[in-house]
Chain A
């Protein structure tokens, strides 16, 4: 090989370089594709939701905003665990119901209804929402999420996504 002329040497180098490129990218794909799929697949799963029963509508008192807690089983990877939390149900005098998510639209802390000020308060960064869920003070800019709800057999159901 060493006796080859310079042109032949360059060609040989080039062939070796192309081989390295092909073999190297082959190895990268062969190793990388399974590993990356393995790593990201569960992450690509879309969030799902379900209708959650919050009990009898009659229990809600008109003109008030009440905390309704939930607990249901949810699959987290290889575990089935109870998911707990709460929502805020607003009942008007004419029995119109609105269900607010308790998640602050700023940084996902749980907001608390404060009867005295007529506002939802986020304890984390002092965000405030009025009784319609509109942001009125602090960092949040988006209103509280209003959850879909329905009444089945006199029970209030709300759609929670997780």
Chain B
């Protein structure tokens, strides 16, 4: 039958389902798609793991929205209900909670690995740039998401973040007004944070992810340092690479599920804007920024809150254009690696000092 169909293409009579749906060309391309076999292996899986975590974050987030009321008071009760009264409530909230923490860690590793092996070298500069842009919108997700349960920690951390935002010269006040929809952190602000968290930011993330994949697709995956592009071994994406990804996805789902089951995601007391005794502790990922903010005082505070973080961000984006030679081997990029290590060490030290100051 198949042979007959192929022979009678002149008739142009759709036969298979894919042909009827006019998807045959795309399906054929996917089936025959060959990609670099090192794309996902035992020692290289950060990118694939990030994708798996993102799928989990989108799914758990979308389903948590079924039980969420974005209004002060109700918000807390709705989250509490979803967490403790629904089957798998702890798992779904936990996967979201531990998922984003793990996402941040793996993102750091993904970035570090890309840096060390020189994955940003020509022609892959914009793979790096688009990846850094994704990294930069992640804090927006955390900041907007943190307020949603309307518990003490979320509320008071938001107060601190808002005053940091306010301290940005010239645009700080208007930024805060726009984000909160007014001068206070109430129902308007909560609704805004919610809509940003579940609609606008995810759309932006998907767009940036599309750009990231576009550049990976067009400029190729980064091979081993010893390989040149012609010596790459390829393997069919379906089913081989896809199956590896499914294994990874199942593993991370099970691990996060069990963690969430043993240690339910935290939900503090309901937010009380009058309770001044609650001191929000900066979270682990923001400790270094927090230290920077507290090191520079008085007229210098703009260094800690804007200039140094802004400078580091610009530096991170500009890495492929500063270290622009095509040399990928770490041993022949000593200066780049030493500078990066020093910066990383400083940030790590600041984080440790911050940890000792706030959490011990």
B42, chain A: closest CB distance, angstroms: 45
A77, chain B: closest CB distance, angstroms: 4
Taken together as a complex, chains A and B put the C-alpha atoms of A81 and B299 apart, in Å, by 37
Task: Assess whether A108 is interfacial by the CB under 8 Å rule.
Answer: yes
| List of B residues within 8 angstroms of A39 by Cβ | 178
Taken together as a complex, chains A and B put the C-alpha atoms of A127 and B181 apart, in Å, by 29
Consensus secondary structure, chain B interface: helix
Task: Assess whether B180 is interfacial by the CB under 8 Å rule.
Answer: yes
Number of interface residues of A (CB under 8 A): 31
Cβ of B274 and Cβ of A162 under 8 Å apart? no
Cβ of A125 and Cβ of B276 under 8 Å apart? no
Task: Assess whether B314 is interfacial by the CB under 8 Å rule.
Answer: no
A105, closest chain B residue (CB): B163
Task: Assess whether A30 is interfacial by the CB under 8 Å rule.
Answer: no
Cβ of A112 and Cβ of B180 under 8 Å apart? no
Do A125 and B294 form a contact, CB below 8 Å, given A69-B274, A102-B276, A107-B163?
A: yes
A137, chain B: closest CB distance, angstroms: 10
Cβ of B164 and Cβ of A107 under 8 Å apart? yes
| List of B residues within 8 angstroms of A3 by Cβ | none
What sequence of 0s and 1s flags, for each residue 167-190 of chain B, a beta carbon within 8 Å of any chain A beta carbon?
A: 100000010011011111011100
Q: Which one of A77, A78, A84 has the greatest number of beta carbons of chain B within 10 Å? A: A77
B183, closest chain A residue (CB): A47
Do A162 and B187 form a contact, CB below 8 Å, given A102-B276, A108-B159?
A: no
Cβ of A81 and Cβ of B72 under 8 Å apart? yes
Task: Assess whether A141 is interfacial by the CB under 8 Å rule.
Answer: yes
Task: Assess whether A42 is interfacial by the CB under 8 Å rule.
Answer: yes
Chain A positions 64-110 with a Cβ under 8 Å from a chain B Cβ: 69, 74, 76-79, 81, 83-86, 102, 106-110
| List of B residues within 8 angstroms of A162 by Cβ | 183-184
A148, chain B: closest CB distance, angstroms: 18
Cβ of B276 and Cβ of A112 under 8 Å apart? yes
B160, chain A: closest CB distance, angstroms: 5
Cβ of B160 and Cβ of A85 under 8 Å apart? no
Taken together as a complex, chains A and B put the C-alpha atoms of A95 and B226 apart, in Å, by 82
- The 4 A-B residue pairs whose C-beta atoms are closest, nearest first, are A110-B276, A76-B186, A77-B188, A84-B274
List 6 A–B pairs whose Cβ atoms lie within 8 Å, in order of A's numbering.
Answer: A43-B174, A76-B187, A79-B186, A83-B273, A107-B164, A123-B276
